[in-house]
């Protein structure tokens, strides 16, 4: 079992990261619930988040990212709002910029599904955004104008654009039966507004100095595979990578319900108007660009996917709970109780080093460019880094 102290962890991160790359922190799936017994599900999340935030500052991270499910979202609305406010405050406790992706637990439709199906205890996307960003989005962020929790932020000194996606961007509306059309705890998707924002604004790098040298990092709660219309976003991303054009439509939407990685997805009756969106994207004048990786949580596991032609990197939950036999053992009161990461991206070496505190282990992933006319080359398998750090 890993018994490394946070002080030693921070020293190791600093000793094995160069000055020319990008270092940021990522934590996911804290599932905070206020409870007296801190050994219960999600009860000790604030301690995890505060430790993570303090370590981010000590390591010299550029920003911190919470990849969703900040709260567990199965309580009456007032309590969930209080839990979100406390969790977001703990993220900001270090003073570093804090970014949040909304998760499928965060809008409280988990509670609504079982206790308030009319949505009276649901939390709208914009209301959630105001809770986690009480002073507004981070300085310099450009937000999607007609949907919440989707924006981009530029890091000019690293020539990297960060794109935060909302993977539960479905209407919070009731049907004729008085029940919510969708319970986002199980139903996920992109709105037309979000797809249009990504296609026409967020991926337009043409006006940036040295625009051809810029790359994209995508931050979200879940892999595109969990969304029935995730194929539409994937098509737009591929056009961005290859400097080509595309048009999304019905062919990019899976039938509902469906399985992804063995998990049931989108069990509610689907309204095609909420999932089938015809959006055009044209990157021919801009030329090819690189997606460095899509970082996400949701699955409570360390998972590397490459079948979409860009890296998808899912990382272990901070929650002290073992969801599957593939996950590492967790023990309350030990360092394995929590799990969070400092992520170093070295574009010169074409390498991503993920330093893990707590359960699990460090990871190193190589990434390769995707260019027009070329197949996506195989990406070397995920490997464990030595205790001393990356080679």
112 or 373, higher pLDDT? 112
In the prediction, which pLDDT does 370 show? 54
The residue-averaged pLDDT of 324-342 equals: 93
Please check whether residue 315 is in contact with residue 341, taking contact to mean a CB–CB distance below 8 angstroms: yes
For the cut 80, the answer to whether the pLDDT of residue 374 exceeds it is: no
In the prediction, which pLDDT does 73 show? 97
Q: How confident is the model at residue 4 (pLDDT cuts 50, 70, 90)?
A: confident
175-179, 339-343, 368-372 — which is least confidently predicted?
368-372
Q: How confident is the model at residue 263 (pLDDT cuts 50, 70, 90)?
A: confident
The residue-averaged pLDDT of 362-372 equals: 74
In the prediction, which pLDDT does 115 show? 97
In the prediction, which pLDDT does 106 show? 98
* Distance, CA of 52 to chain centre: 16
Q: What are 333's two structure tokens?
A: 């009161």
Q: How confident is the model at residue 369 (pLDDT cuts 50, 70, 90)?
A: low
Q: Helices 77-91 and 125-132: crossing angle, nearest 10°?
A: 40
Return the residue matching tokens 């976003």: 233
Please name which of 62, 56, 122 lies closest in space to residue 90, comparing C-alpha atoms.
56
Average predicted confidence (pLDDT) for the chain? 92
For the cut 80, the answer to whether the pLDDT of residue 312 exceeds it is: yes
In the prediction, which pLDDT does 3 show? 74
Beta bridge partners of 64: 25, 98
For the cut 80, the answer to whether the pLDDT of residue 91 exceeds it is: yes
The residue-averaged pLDDT of 83-98 equals: 97
The residue-averaged pLDDT of 366-379 equals: 49
In the prediction, which pLDDT does 33 show? 96
Give domain limits for the chain.
Answer: 6-384
Domain 6-384 CATH assignment equals 3.40.50.880: no
Sign of the dihedral through C-alpha 173, 178, 183, 187: negative
Q: Give the 3-state secondary structure of 245-313.
A: EEECCHHHCCCCCEEECCEEECCCCCCHHHHCCCCEEECCCCCCCEEEEEEECCCCCCEEECCCCCCEE
The residue-averaged pLDDT of 216-245 equals: 97
In the prediction, which pLDDT does 2 show? 60
In the prediction, which pLDDT does 368 show? 65
pTM score: 0.94
What percent of the chain clears pLDDT 90, i.e. is strictly above it? 87
For the cut 70, the answer to whether the pLDDT of residue 328 exceeds it is: yes
37-46, 82-91, 368-377 — which is least confidently predicted?
368-377
pLDDT digits (tens, 9 = 90+) for 138-171: 999 999 998 999 999 999 999 999 999 999 999 9
What percent of the chain clears pLDDT 70, i.e. is strictly above it? 93
The residue-averaged pLDDT of 205-212 equals: 93
């Amino acid at each position: 079992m890993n018994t490394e102290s946070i002080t030693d962890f921070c020293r190791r991160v600093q000793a094995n990261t160069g000055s020319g790359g990008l270092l940021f922190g990522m934590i996911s799936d804290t599932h905070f619930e206020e409870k007296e017994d801190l050994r219960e599900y999600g009860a000790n999340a604030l301690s995890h988040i505060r430790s993570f935030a303090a370590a981010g500052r000590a390591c010299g991270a550029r920003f911190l990212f919470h990849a969703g499910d900040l709260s567990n979202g199965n309580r009456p609305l007032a309590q969930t709002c209080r839990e979100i406010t406390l969790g977001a405050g703990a993220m900001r406790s270090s003073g570093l910029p804090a970014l949040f992706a909304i998760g499928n637990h965060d809008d409280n439709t988990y509670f609504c599904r079982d206790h308030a199906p009319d949505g009276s205890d649901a939390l709208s996307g914009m209301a959630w955004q105001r809770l986690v960003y009480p002073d507004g989005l981070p300085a310099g962020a450009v937000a999607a104008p007609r949907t919440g929790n989707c924006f981009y932020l530029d890091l000019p000194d690293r020539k990297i654009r960060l794109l935060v996606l909302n993977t539960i961007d479905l209407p919070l509306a009731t049907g004729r039966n008085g029940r919510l059309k969708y319970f986002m705890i199980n139903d996920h998707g992109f709105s037309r507004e979000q797809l249009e924002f990504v296609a026409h604004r967020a991926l337009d790098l043409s006006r940036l100095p040295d625009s051809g040298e810029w790359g994209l990092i995508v931050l979200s709660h879940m892999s595109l595979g969990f969304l029935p219309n995730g194929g539409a976003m994937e098509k737009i991303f591929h056009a961005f990578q290859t400097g080509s054009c595309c048009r999304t439509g019905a062919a990019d939407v899976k039938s509902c319900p469906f399985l992804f990685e063995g998990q049931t997805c989108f069990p509610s009756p689907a309204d095609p108007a909420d999932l089938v969106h015809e959006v055009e994207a044209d990157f021919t004048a801009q030329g090819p660009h690189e997606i460095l990786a899509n970082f996400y949580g949701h699955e409570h596991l360390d998972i590397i996917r490459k079948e979409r032609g860009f890296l998808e990197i899912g990382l272990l939950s901070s929650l002290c709970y073992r969801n599957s036999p593939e996950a590492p053992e967790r023990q309350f009161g030990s360092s394995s109780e929590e799990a969070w990461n400092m992520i170093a991206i070295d574009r010169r070496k074409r390498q991503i080093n993920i330093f893990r505190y707590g359960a699990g282990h460090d990871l190193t992933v190589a990434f390769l460019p995707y260019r027009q006319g070329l197949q996506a080359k195989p990406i070397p398998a995920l490997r464990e880094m030595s205790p001393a750090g990356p080679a």
